[in-house]
Amino acid sequence: MKITDVRAIQPVGKNSPPDWRTSLGQILVAIDTDSGLTGYGVGGGGLAGIHVVKTVLRDLLLGQSPEDISRLWDEMYQSTLAFGRKGLAIMAISGVDLALWDLKGKAEKVPVVSLLGGQPGQQLPTYCTVWNTQDLESIDSHAGYKLHLGKVSNAGQQDEMIQAIETARTLIGPDPLLMVDAWMKWTVESTIAISRAIEPFQIDWIEEPLSPDDLAGYAQLSEQSAVPIAGGEHEFTAAAFTQLIDQKLHTVLQPDVCWCGGMTELIKIYKMANRAGLRVCPHRGAEIWALHAIAALDPHPLAETGRPWMTWVAGQPEIDGGLISVTDRPGWGLTFDEQSLELVY
């Protein structure tokens, strides 16, 4: 089997946010082969990511066998090294890598979860991300909930944030998990202060309180925060996660498989984290791409609800009673009617 084409488009997502998550949003990558099989994956980077796929990565992959995914990943990384390593180039590689895994599953007539050593059908618990406490008053049942505080995160709003977290715990009761997302907008000092104030509310983690580059700050938090620290959503490649893991800067690691380098890198991150005794909880894990890994590799599975605007990815498993599972369909178990997709670009 040989690769005959590598394509990329950016479909329109219903109610996609009017910010970088659309202008540099998720792209669909398709890899065609001479066997008639096409593999699909999702990466990021919008038009910039599409350009990387259609030029550097396509030129590299044409005529190659898609079977040795690890070798192809290394070649893609090396081919983008001068301008890549993090960010848009790795987002583009992620989509290609996931398409290669889809091809592998389709060629072997098994779902990706089986390629990873797991079994389809396992019921996995989910948690739901909300942007305000009002959403918690009428939300479906989940194992946990994450309150996103990115819109109320400056120093003058500290009391408001603490009150919102207390309100969230009151609304959901004592049993469900409760997490807080600071979206890289807090400081070391405010994180420590808030963590101590919210500790009585049984908070499972504070997510991304600092910039991903503030490793010294995260080292301080790992010692002084009263609540476990999570992060990694905006980190790229297993190599970058090595420092987070070796220094145990995060208790919970949250790679996004569509951004961090794809399934090939997510597998490495899981292995390193397991050896270090740390937890992996992939960003937006209920989306099909990470869900297969959670089902196969995670000793404590927990899947975050997906991006609600990714409406063009049809046929993903539905959450039912707070649980979700992957099917036994080959690859990711999805099909795409490319001709019917409305495109951003």
* Catalytic entry in 51, 283, 292, 300: 283
Sequential DSSP letters for 150-179: TTS-SGGGHHHHHHHHHHHHHHH-SSSEEE
CA 138 to chain centre: 26
How far is residue 164's CA from residue 321's CA, in Å, rounded to a whole number? 26
How far is residue 117's CA from residue 119's CA, in Å, rounded to a whole number? 7
Query: Helix 69-79 vs helix 263-276: angle between axes, to the nearest 10 degrees?
Result: 100
**Do residues 244 and 253 lie in contact, with contact meaning Cβ atoms separated by under 8 Å?**
yes
Q: Is 283 a catalytic residue?
A: yes
Q: Which residues of 217-235 are buried (b: 16+ CB within 10 A; e: fewer)?
A: bbebbeeebbbbbbbbbbb
330: left (phi over 0), alpha (psi -120 to 50) or beta: beta
Q: Which residues are catalytic?
A: 283
